[in-house]
Amino acid sequence: MNTVLVTGANRGIGLEFARQYAVDGWRVLAGCRNPDSAQALQRLMPDMEGRLSLVDIDVTDAGSVQRAAVEGDQGAIDVLINCAGVMGKSDQTIGTIDYDDWEHVLDVNVLGPARMTEAFLERVAQSSRRTIVTITSGMGSLADNTSGGYIPYRTSKAAVNMVMRSAAIDLARQRITCVVINPGWVKTDMGGRGATLTPEQSVSAMRRLIERLGPKDSGRFYNYDGREYPW
């Protein structure tokens, strides 16, 4: 049975990744900060015949990440999906930046995936698929920034793109595939009701992309529909 670990699995895109993989027979490790209050995940569990497990992970806490990596089941992880993320305050332009908020956004969106990748590297390397996916955003694209604003969020996604681009090079000898994927504009708490995609549509498309990934794809920035996205 293939295994996927998803962070930020208590809501939105992460929750939909957990649901779809579990329904399709994968063993799912659903990472979130407060499993006891992850009601949407808990509602899924009775129908998943033991394939869905909740894992206590706070990606901003190095100790929490390390404990999750070494405690409990130590089996291989075929696909690691770094999905935990925050937007921060949306109205931040030059002159109105909240630096405490910016630091928090960077901690979750950049350091979080880095911590997860390092902590779970051995378990990913033990698998046959050896795939690390980080959910980024088109707002992290330098080429696609034509409207400005959202400085904490944009910089965090541009930074995590670079982290994973470097990781792809660093891990090439181990044949570990690292990619970043823009999920599109999705109807979640972050994306809002006006978004063009449902979580089911976005995740279904990303899963088709993830299924065909291999070492030749490592280091690339993809759109959810499989097209390469401009850096």
Q: What angle do CA 73, 54, 111 make, to 5 degrees?
A: 85
Residue 52 has pLDDT above 80, yes or no: yes
Check which CATH number belongs to the domain holding 112 and give it.
3.40.50.720
Query: Does any domain span residue 231?
Result: no
Query: Does any domain span residue 122?
Result: yes
- Is the full-model pTM beyond 0.85? yes
pLDDT at 90 (0 to 100): 83
**In the sheet where 131-135 sits, what is the strand order?**
52-56, 27-32, 3-6, 79-82, 131-135, 177-182, 221-223
Query: What percent of the chain shows pLDDT beyond 90?
Result: 88
Q: pLDDT of 106-116, one tens digit each?
A: 999 999 999 99
Domain region containing 180: 3-223
The whole-number average pLDDT for the span 22-32 is 97
pLDDT at 196 (0 to 100): 84
Task: Indicate the number of domains in the chain.
Answer: 1
Least confident of 12-16, 20-24, 47-51: 47-51
Query: Does any domain span residue 230?
Result: no
Q: Which two tokens stand for residue 84?
A: 């935990």
The DSSP secondary-structure symbol of 29 reads E
CA dihedral 124, 188, 137, 129 (to 10 degrees): 20
Query: Does any domain span residue 204?
Result: yes
